[in-house]
Amino acid sequence: MGKLAKPLVILAGVLGGAMMMGIMYDMMLSMRAMRGAMLEMNQSILTMRGDMTAMSGDMSGMRQDIRHMDGSISEMYGLMAEDLDTLAKSVSWMAPSVATMGPIMSRMGGDMSRGVNSFTNPAEYMFNMVR
């Protein structure tokens, strides 16, 4: 058994070394794959960073547009309020004139009716003039 033990130990050492080499080779391949995945992830992060920078620029532009629109809307509401105030003042100034126009228009309607009757029915027109 002594003669057999030495080659067995050598064979076990060689097989153990070969197994270790296989494991180390597999680890090396795994590390390469992990390195590739990390490079891909880094590239994705850089792309995402660029996209976020572009989005930030877009948001800044949108913020300026919204501020401009808000200013325009405020200005428009101010003008509308002024127009409504002016309209209210105009109506309040015209109200007495409109109130006095009612009877005048009624009298004018009667005068026009009498004028039309003078052409269509002269006898009745003369009778109404005497009354």
What are the residue ranges spanned by the domains of the chain? 2-100
Dig out the tokens for 78 from the structure.
Answer: 């101010």
- pLDDT for 1 equals 57
Query: Residues 6 or more apart from 92 whose CB is under 8 A from it?
Result: none
Count how many residues are written for the chain: 131
Q: What is the pLDDT of residues 22-80, one digit of tens each?
A: 999 999 999 999 999 999 999 999 999 999 999 988 888 898 999 999 899 989 988 99
Portion of the chain with pLDDT greater than 70, in percent: 97
Task: Output the pTM of the full model.
Answer: 0.41
